Structure 1
Amino acid sequence: MEITTAQTGVQTSLSDLGTPLVDVTFVVVDLETTGGRPEAEGITEIGAVKVRGGEILGEFATLVDPGHEIPVQIQRLTGITTSMVYDAPRIAGVLPAFLEFLGHDSVLVAHNAGFDVGFLKAACAGHAIDWPAPDVVDTVKLARALVPRDEVRNHRLGTLAAHFGAHTTPNHRALADARATVDVLHALLARAGSLGVTSREDLLVFGAKVPAARRRRATMADGLPEAPGVYVFKDEQGVPLYVGTSGNIKRRVKSYFTASEKRRGMGLMVDLAHTVTPIPCATALEAHVREIRLIAEFRPRFNRRAARPEKAAWLKVTDERFPRLSVVRSRRDDEALYVGPFRSKTAAGAARDAIHDVRRIRQCTQPISSKGAPPCVLAEIDRCDAPCLGELTPEAYAPIVTALRQELESGTSTLVSDLEGRLARLATDERFEDARATRDALVEMLRGADRHQRRAPLVENPHFVAARPRAGGGWEFAVVRYGRLAGSAHANRGEDPRPVIESLALFAEAVSPTDETLPEETDVVLRWLERPGTRVVDSDLPWVSPVGGAGGALSRLDPLVERARELAWEEERAS
């Protein structure tokens, strides 16, 4: 379906007025941190309150272990001490729960939102978690527009909370500050309402300016479905400019013509767009997967987060007489072990180098004959068992490879322990540059091994059916075959799900184990499956994860990363 640009537009339904503020879900968040730089400091506490129509729907509060000492001045300011967060979860374990609390269609609110959102985005990026990019309202900016300076001396949270008679006094603790911000938000919304701000859309563009010509082009959204799915902006020749996904296609497309759209380049994209093609989807998961596939197929010029399958790489334990580690761009249907995918050849190469540091698997690439060859440098310094000399049989070499395959497939604890030992020795010897390189290589190795260990049970499974509860009641279902989403559907509240599941399984896409699936697609499916509340409906093979796998090691790695930072500081002071 193509929706062409109309020259003029009229309101066709009440939905064109936008979502009334009374129906908007706001999640008001506050963070406490160890400092002001998201790239260098850590989160120590998250507090959030979910409200709609003036009613509190829920609260979220947890301390967070930042992985290092909390500075004394921060302890004095917040009252949060290092001992208080000693047994608290790390941010990697907190983020999924917080994002689940946030939901898919809430407006995120914070006082000085750039600070809180900056830390949340940095934390997601640091743990390979997709940031959902919710609409954001900053109560500082709202207050500056609605509360003149002759009424208050400043627009700090404490000042505004006192001015509006908030029920909670902010005290630099996350939940208390979030509760105070809720009261401030409601007071500001009351003032904004007198200025005509009555909908979500009004609020997001309040105080901002958009060129009149661009506002007129908002009629491109007329006729689009108010349903989940994918939308494709196309130019006059029908070439895709941008692919996106939303739980409400019409509302999301309309937002591109408002001041709420601030991303670089999007204004030019909208000005070039001539049509919008909607692709309704049964579930949000299906929409996300379709988005990934379309971006990979068309490479739209304005999709910066475009899937680039040619950038992915695997670490291959080759299937030779004397196997070795090789970095490859794609997998073949052979007996070799492929670990990954890694985000790039560089990352896979770093992981390979880390393994070479602690395992005696051969590194030379030339074919090995039974006649033998002169020893390489690694053999001379006793870093390799030197099968190239012709004195080592494949049977004698096999245990090295078998042990490494087991470590990469099912448990990395010994491998990690050996690499941590190497890092400690380098630190003791004050070889700071080598210590940082080892730390980075260890992280890359664990990320690749974790992706492999989590993906393998799904990628090797011919047929897997799972269900998740829908936010509004009912269930959504997914059929996954060899790591590829083969189909999705949903059953409404009160509807018998069994016929839906049977029909979905019957008409789902046929997938072969040799079919190529984008790594990003399998990752998205995995994240959907790993969310709390997912139920396995049917599976040809067990869906399991190894005890002592790479994921657990990654979650424990934060102190190691922090120690590497300390090594860098020590090196700078020594130089």
Structure 2
Amino acid sequence: MHSAHDQLAFDELGTPLRETTFVVVDLETTGTRPGPDGITEIGAVKVRGGEVLGEFATLVNPGMPIPPQIVALTGITGAMVYDAPPVDEVLPAFLEFAAGAVLVAHNAPFDTGFLRAACQGHGYAWPKPAVVCTVRLARRVLSRQDTPSFRLSALAALFGATTTPNHRALDDARATVDVLHALLERLGPLGVHSLEELLDFLPEVTPAQRGKRGLAAHLPERPGVYLFRGPGDEVLYVGTASNLRRRVRQYFTGSESRGRIREMVALAQRVDGIECSHALEAQVRELRLLAAHRPAYNRRSKNPRKSWWVALTEEAFPRLSVVRLPKDGALGPFGSQAMARLAADSLAGAAGLRTCTLRISAKAPSGKPCALAELGRCAAPCAGHQSVTAYAPSVHAVTELIAGRHTVPLDIALHQVEELAAGHHFEQAARRRDELAVLVRAIGKAHRLTALAAIQELVAAAPDGEGGWEFAVVRHGRLASAGVARRGVPPMPVVDALVASAETVTAEAGPLYGAPEEEVGVLLRWLTRPGVRLVRTSSPWAEPAHGAGRWQRWLDRVAAAAALENVGQALN
């Protein structure tokens, strides 16, 4: 039985502190404000498991005079650094020395600020290492009764450091190593044994938050979905993890700094875990649980994604309408009403559909031509100037485009863009081009999602990275079953068992056969990853030969042109 104060075993935590490589660094500089220059000396010590692995020390020509008060403090004079290498020559060697290690410094923001500014000023990428500040760590571990001061000299004296700090970089780094080791020894009784827990420990964590760590004790070290439950057993939060126990424990060690999540943890009374075969199953289960529970602390459930669709109305002279519920022959899904409206207007203009909202009778239209008719952009069926028969080809062009049987409206729209450009109406041409790109992307996405959702059953396998396979049984765009065959396990019997036990899925009406758009999207991304193989499928999986997929090269050119236009605008 685990108590609320159980400590994590090393294999649960990530990198044990005894196996973590630290590079303890100290800088001497010409001032207190970080800049690309101004470093006069760098000293660093690389340690792991209490053993010194190497040292790095060099004077640096700061490229500027050293103020007299700094000379008095450090003893480093202009003559000493005159022949020293400049910082742009020193940085590559230091970055190589510190590569892959955790950076440690006493008052780390000062030292890392200078190093980051030097990298940025001289064209080197700052590696963004994990950083431990021994001042901050000492304030978390020690009290004022332990030490009246958190200066390096005071802590070095308190812990009996073998090197006395003297404002020279290497000696100060050596003293900081002893301080670091002494502080790490005091973290054991506080339940901090790994690098991850050390980094989690540095932020302030409430005792109540840390005391609930036992809520994760029963969770497996497997991928899955976790649910935080509140006092009334309500679901507060849903998430996924590759290691359920490790991920949930992090909520109680300070790695989560968002106020609303800390509030959630304070309310939580229980954490349920649902073990999954692999990450894909966990993603799908998370989507379904979010939809089912709408947990208060998940942003996605507070603002659930509601898709929009573009569909032809059912009347004598159909028009394109933006709707919530998809029906057969609808185009979508769109993430926002505005995007759906933009696509509808672009498609209507290219196909010659009316855009007014009048309901026009086929027998006796009695309206008056509008401004669009006067501009030649509408044939005015409202005034009887266009018959149902004459209007029908426009409707047919739209239905054929959505079905993926031809792209005539897209060809027309592109020709319109080219005519505008040829007439030197460049701004209007660019706007229409971008609108067409939105439409092409929407049609391409619709064709990809619909092609997958149309398949009654598809079985796919992905390598698990350890010589085995992860399987997914997909039926009409839903994950019906998931499992794994570890290395050495014959895969086909596993596939047969998964298919036999898979959820029964009945196709419904609509372009996606009733499947949730987000779930189809998650499955599509997984299925199109490199290395994923089709095991079997009830019907061929293919996008329409005359769909929007053949416009991809045009989309690439549009993206490149838009990028150049943005650069030009920025320069102007």
User: 1:398, CA displacement in angstroms?
Assistant: 3.1
User: 1:376, CA displacement in angstroms?
Assistant: 3.0
Please tell me the residue identity of whatever aligns with 1:353. Answer: D
User: How big is each residue's C-alpha offset from its partner over 1:423-442, in whole Å with a ceiling of 9 and x where there is no partner?
Assistant: 7479x447x6x678646644
Structure 2 unaligned residues grouped into runs of 5+ = 22-47, 49-90, 92-98, 133-172, 185-191
Query: What's the RMSD between the two structures over aligned residues?
Result: 4.2
Alpha carbons 2:316, 2:360 under 8 Å: kept? no
- What aligned pairs does 1:340-379 form with structure 2 within 5 A after superposition? 340-365=332-357, 366-377=359-370, 378-379=372-373
User: How big is each residue's C-alpha offset from its partner over 1:332-379, in whole Å with a ceiling of 9 and x where there is no partner?
Assistant: 3x4xx2111000222101111222343311223314322233343123
User: How big is each residue's C-alpha offset from its partner over 1:164-190, in whole Å with a ceiling of 9 and x where there is no partner?
Assistant: xxxxxx97476xx76x979x9xxx9x9
Q: Of 442, 448, 451, which residue of structure 2 is paired with 1:454?
A: 448
Structure 1 unaligned residues grouped into runs of 5+ = 26-52, 54-110, 112-137, 161-169
Q: C-alpha separation between the residues in 1 aligned to 2:433 and 2:105?
A: 45
Instruction: Tell me what 1:557 maps to.
Output: 558
Q: Of 529, 532, 539, which residue of structure 1 is paired with 2:530?
A: 532
Q: C-alpha separation between the residues in 2 aligned to 1:153 and 1:374?
A: 71
Alpha carbons 2:462, 2:531 under 8 Å: kept? yes
Alpha carbons 2:353, 2:378 under 8 Å: kept? yes
Alpha carbons 1:358, 1:418 under 8 Å: kept? no
Query: 1:258 and 1:477, CA in 2 relative to 1: closer, same or farther beyond 3 A?
Result: same
- What aligned pairs does 1:124-135 form with structure 2 within 5 A after superposition? none
Structure 1 residue 265 and structure 2 residue 260: aligned? yes
Secondary structure of the equivalent of 1:156? helix
Query: 1:400 and 1:267, CA in 2 relative to 1: closer, same or farther beyond 3 A?
Result: same
Question: Which structure is larger by alpha-carbon Rg, 1 or 2?
Answer: 2
Structure 1 residue 10 and structure 2 residue 11: aligned? no
Alpha carbons 2:305, 2:335 under 8 Å: kept? no
- What aligned pairs does 1:409-448 form with structure 2 within 5 A after superposition? 409-410=403-404, 414=411, 417-418=414-415, 420-421=417-418, 424=421, 428-429=424-425, 438=432, 441-448=435-442
Alpha carbons 1:143, 1:155 under 8 Å: kept? no
Q: C-alpha separation between the residues in 1 aligned to 2:202 and 2:361?
A: 71
Instruction: Tell me what 1:473 maps to.
Output: 467
Structure 1 residue 246 and structure 2 residue 207: aligned? no
Query: 1:448 and 1:363, CA in 2 relative to 1: closer, same or farther beyond 3 A?
Result: same
User: How big is each residue's C-alpha offset from its partner over 1:239-260, in whole Å with a ceiling of 9 and x where there is no partner?
Assistant: 1111000111111101111232
- What aligned pairs does 1:114-133 form with structure 2 within 5 A after superposition? none
Q: C-alpha separation between the residues in 2 aligned to 1:416 and 1:141?
A: 56
Q: C-alpha separation between the residues in 2 aligned to 1:24 and 1:526?
A: 39
Query: 1:558 and 1:288, CA in 2 relative to 1: closer, same or farther beyond 3 A?
Result: same
Secondary structure of the equivalent of 1:401? helix
Secondary structure of the equivalent of 1:371? coil
Q: Of 205, 210, 217, which residue of structure 2 is paired with 1:210?
A: 205
User: 1:461, CA displacement in angstroms?
Assistant: 1.3
User: 1:487, CA displacement in angstroms?
Assistant: 1.3
- What aligned pairs does 1:501-512 form with structure 2 within 5 A after superposition? 501-512=495-506
Q: C-alpha separation between the residues in 2 aligned to 1:478 and 1:424?
A: 49
Query: 1:532 and 1:284, CA in 2 relative to 1: closer, same or farther beyond 3 A?
Result: same
User: How big is each residue's C-alpha offset from its partner over 1:400-444, in whole Å with a ceiling of 9 and x where there is no partner?
Assistant: 233334444436662662464477479x447x6x67864664454
Alpha carbons 1:230, 1:244 under 8 Å: kept? yes
Q: Of 479, 484, 492, which residue of structure 2 is paired with 1:498?
A: 492
Please tell me the residue identity of whatever aligns with 1:9. Answer: H
Instruction: Tell me what 2:540 maps to.
Output: 542
Instruction: Tell me what 1:285 maps to.
Output: 280
User: 1:220, CA displacement in angstroms?
Assistant: 1.1
Structure 1 residue 487 and structure 2 residue 495: aligned? no
Instruction: Tell me what 1:33 maps to.
Output: none
User: 1:208, CA displacement in angstroms?
Assistant: 2.5
Give the TM-score normalised by the residue count of structure 1: 0.65
User: 1:463, CA displacement in angstroms?
Assistant: 1.1
Aligned residues: 437
Instruction: Tell me what 2:84 maps to.
Output: none
Secondary structure of the equivalent of 1:384? coil
Q: C-alpha separation between the residues in 1 aligned to 2:472 and 2:465?
A: 16
Q: C-alpha separation between the residues in 2 aligned to 1:23 and 1:468?
A: 33
Instruction: Tell me what 1:101 maps to.
Output: none
Query: 1:320 and 1:464, CA in 2 relative to 1: closer, same or farther beyond 3 A?
Result: farther
User: 1:23, CA displacement in angstroms?
Assistant: 8.8
Secondary structure of the equivalent of 1:361? coil
Secondary structure of the equivalent of 1:495? coil
Alpha carbons 1:222, 1:250 under 8 Å: kept? yes
Query: 1:359 and 1:152, CA in 2 relative to 1: closer, same or farther beyond 3 A?
Result: closer
Instruction: Tell me what 1:516 maps to.
Output: 514
Q: C-alpha separation between the residues in 1 aligned to 2:105 and 2:349?
A: 57
User: How big is each residue's C-alpha offset from its partner over 1:238-292, in whole Å with a ceiling of 9 and x where there is no partner?
Assistant: 1111100011111110111123213341111111111111111112111101111
Alpha carbons 2:223, 2:282 under 8 Å: kept? yes
Q: C-alpha separation between the residues in 2 aligned to 1:491 and 1:201?
A: 31
Q: C-alpha separation between the residues in 2 aligned to 1:474 and 1:24?
A: 30
Please tell me the residue identity of whatever aligns with 1:537. Answer: V
Query: 1:473 and 1:218, CA in 2 relative to 1: closer, same or farther beyond 3 A?
Result: same
Please tell me the residue identity of whatever aligns with 1:459. Answer: A
Query: 1:555 and 1:368, CA in 2 relative to 1: closer, same or farther beyond 3 A?
Result: farther
529-538 or 546-555: which moved more? 546-555
Alpha carbons 2:362, 2:388 under 8 Å: kept? no
Q: C-alpha separation between the residues in 1 aligned to 2:297 and 2:113?
A: 43
Alpha carbons 2:13, 2:197 under 8 Å: kept? no
User: 1:459, CA displacement in angstroms?
Assistant: 1.4
Query: 1:390 and 1:465, CA in 2 relative to 1: closer, same or farther beyond 3 A?
Result: farther
Query: 1:15 and 1:139, CA in 2 relative to 1: closer, same or farther beyond 3 A?
Result: closer
